[in-house]
Amino acid sequence: MDLLAHAERLRPRLAAQSAEIERTRLLPADLVAELTEAGFFHLCAPRSVGGSEVAPRALLEILETLGRGDSATGWCVMVGGTASFLGAYLGEAGAQEIYGRSPKIATCGVFAPLGKGVREGDGYRISGRWPWLSGSMHSTYRLGGFVVPREGGGVDVLHAFFEAGETRMLDTWHTAGLGGTGSHDMEVEGALVPAHRVVTFLGGSPRETGPLYRFPAFGLLATGVAAVALGIARDAVDTFVELARGKRTQGGKRTLAERETIQMHVARATALVDAGRAYLHATVDEAYRVAEGERSLEPQHRAALRLAATSATESAQTAVDLVYRAAGGTAVYNTCKLQKHLRDVHVASAHAMVAEPTYALVGRMALGLETDTAQL
């Protein structure tokens, strides 16, 4: 199935449902069923278990298209799709259980190791609490990072796929934007997770050998965040253009579109989105060429991915800010889509993978300073 074409077909429907998705704070059941069955939540899962194992450029185009229709849908597919990347790190039994099911299921997760665990039999006894679990309300398995004490000191960082019934969701997602993502906190109290549902991701090696799995998961996640932000920004520019063609200032005869300042705002916003997208795609394509050559991505490649994703997200945010201000008082009403665009893109830009500290991390490398490249 051509998932990009499917995303394009979905876009008008998503746009029509977007306000309702935000109001209810989750994706509609029929939409989730369609996305799941089509394979959108298995975008990065290995082909060996029925996943799409898409090339990174295709992943970005799909996410941008969905985000352009509805930010929450694009975001949830981004989280589920990139979480399925870990199907390449699971052993065969775990990958088949989680991603080899028919009909397909959705997963979500938080990479941050906020839980604590101990080895118990053929598994791990784990407790913890994880915020920002986007897509939690429709996911069958929920991922969480945790630490396990080592003999002699130190800890190992592992990631567990919890069955939904092993977790408790806390209604914490009351936010300015991306309200429809259901990104609540997840709490786990003493769940015994079998070893085949636990992966050594940081410092581990994937079982699968395709070029996608030579990409860093953090880089892939960051570029996915940027793609959704660019989709939001693209729709914001389109929305403003439509508004400007019809809106007249009070007592004025000219439309906003006829004012030179407005024309400049539209051009600048368009350039920001196009430039961010081009930079992101060029960087991802170059990294994928390296991966296709059966080479591991070096720290400079991983840094380039994070930098391009952060810059593209910032460009998307600036573009939305431009058209929001240019719309004047119209944009302050909930009935104006630009207000939602503004809120959504600012919440997206707060994601740790594209937040401002990324610039310091990449800048340290550029200046030849000692840098913790594990964060890339």
Residue ranges in the chain whose pLDDT is less than 70:
1, 251
Helices 29-38 and 3-24: crossing angle in degrees, nearest 10, is 160
Q: Are strands 155-163 and 168-170 parallel, antiparallel or unpaired?
A: unpaired
Amino acid at 344: D
Residue with tokens 């990324």: 358
pLDDT attached to residue 204: 86
Alpha helices in 39-127 (DSSP H): 56-69, 71-83, 92-99
pLDDT of residue 91: 95
What domain range is 127 assigned to?
107-199
324 and 238 belong to one structural domain = yes
Model pLDDT, residue 294? 80
Pair 272, 351 in one domain: yes
Q: Is residue 97 part of a domain?
A: no
Are residues 117 and 152 both part of a single domain? Answer: yes
365 plus 220 within the same structural domain: yes
132 and 76 together in one domain? no
Residue 133 included in any domain: yes
Q: Is there a single domain that holds both residue 83 and residue 138?
A: no
Of 58, 92, 126, the one marking the end of a domain is 92
Distance CA 46, CA 53 (A): 5
User: Which amino acid is present at 178?
Assistant: L
Residue 192, beta-bridge partner list: 125
Cα-trace Rg, the chain: 21
CB neighbour class for 58 (10 Å; exposed up to 12, middle 13-18, buried from 19): middle
User: What's the CATH number where 261 sits?
Assistant: 1.20.140.10
**194 and 224 belong to one structural domain:** no
Q: Decide if 206 is inside a domain.
A: no
CATH number at residue 33: 1.10.540.10
Structurally, the chain folds into a number of domains equal to 3
In contact, 319 and 272? CB cutoff 8 Å: yes
Q: How far apart are CA 131 and CA 170, in angstroms?
A: 9
Rounded CA-CA distance 99/94 in Å is: 8
What are the tens digits of pLDDT across the range 202-256? Answer: 888 999 999 999 999 999 999 999 999 999 999 999 999 999 999 887 767 789 9
The DSSP result for 100-116, as a single string, is: S-SS---EEEEEEEEEE
* 209 in a structural domain: no
Shared-domain flag, residues 163 and 219: no
The per-residue b/e assignment along 67-86, b for 16 or more CB within 10 angstroms, e otherwise, is bbbbbbbbbbbbbbbbbbbb
Q: Mean of the per-residue pLDDT values for the chain? A: 95
In this structure, is residue 168 part of a structural domain? yes
d(CA 319, CA 274): 10
How far apart are alpha carbons 240 and 59 in whole angstroms?
A: 27
Statement to judge: residues 359 and 272 lie in one domain = yes
Residue 225: both structure tokens together: 């965040």
- 83 and 111 fall within a common domain: no
